[in-house]
Amino acid sequence: MNTRLNRRVALGLTALVIAYALATAPSAVAQDVPLAIKGYDPVAYFTDGRPTPGRPDIEYQWDEHTYRFASMEHRELFKAEPVRYAPQFGNFCAMALAVGRIVVANPENWLISEGKLYVFGSPPRQAPLCSRRILPETSRRQIRTGRCFRSSNGRSSKAESHPGPPCGCRRVGARDPRY
């Protein structure tokens, strides 16, 4: 009878140890979920017309990424229609993917075309040539005429028009006038 009691105690202790190990182990869900577009608010591109860093206390996980937002209203808009506001190629440069390369995008270089957000790794050097691959004619015309959002300090964006070839602004933010 004594040996049987010891076996029960041993099995009980083993079960407790296994339960404790499972309870304290980090779960696959709790592990690092990648931050989308370097923490910038995807809705702000559409509503404010400029890149805006999101706040760490206002987040939403969607499509295996964590999105940050500048306001609760932006998070609610995103929750209602995430496909509308999420960048088209995730965290990657749209132009680089078009030529078969993988480059992490800089959220300061962006374009909204036909209601979709595209982010780029760097500003276009020869926009008309490279943009023919993925951008519609309207967007190519905007880049060719040099209409862009110029932001020297990265804070406020103001639409300006430059004659001739692209102005070569450091920050691209050409916004399709239809949206």
| Position 118 in a domain | yes
Measured distance CA(9)–CA(156) in Å, rounded = 69
Among 118, 100, 107, 123, residue whose Cα is nearest residue 37: 107
| Position 62 in a domain | yes
What pLDDT, on the 0 to 100 scale, is given for residue 26?
Answer: 56
| Position 58 in a domain | yes
| Position 134 in a domain | yes
What pLDDT, on the 0 to 100 scale, is given for residue 114?
Answer: 92
What pLDDT, on the 0 to 100 scale, is given for residue 32?
Answer: 85
Taking only the tens of pLDDT, the chain with its 179 residues reads: 555 567 777 767 676 667 677 666 555 444 689 999 999 999 999 999 999 999 999 999 999 999 999 999 999 999 999 999 999 998 999 989 989 999 999 999 999 999 999 999 988 665 444 444 445 554 444 444 333 443 344 443 444 443 333 434 333 444 544 43
| Position 109 in a domain | yes
Same domain, 92 and 151: yes
Measured distance CA(79)–CA(67) in Å, rounded = 10
| Position 15 in a domain | no
What pLDDT, on the 0 to 100 scale, is given for residue 18?
Answer: 74
- Measured in whole angstroms, how far is the alpha carbon of residue 93 from the centre of its chain? 11
Question: What is the residue whose two structure tokens read 């909204």?
Answer: 112
Pair 95, 104: CB distance under 8 Å: no
Measured distance CA(77)–CA(4) in Å, rounded = 62
What pLDDT, on the 0 to 100 scale, is given for residue 31?
Answer: 60
In 3-state terms the chain splits into helix, strand, coil percentages (rounded to 5) of: 35, 20, 40
As a residue count, the chain comes to 179
Contacts of 68 by beta carbon, 8 Å cutoff, 6+ apart: 35, 36, 39, 40, 41, 53, 54, 55, 56, 58, 59
Q: How many domains does the chain have?
A: 2
| Position 102 in a domain | yes
Which domain does 107 fall in, by range? 87-179
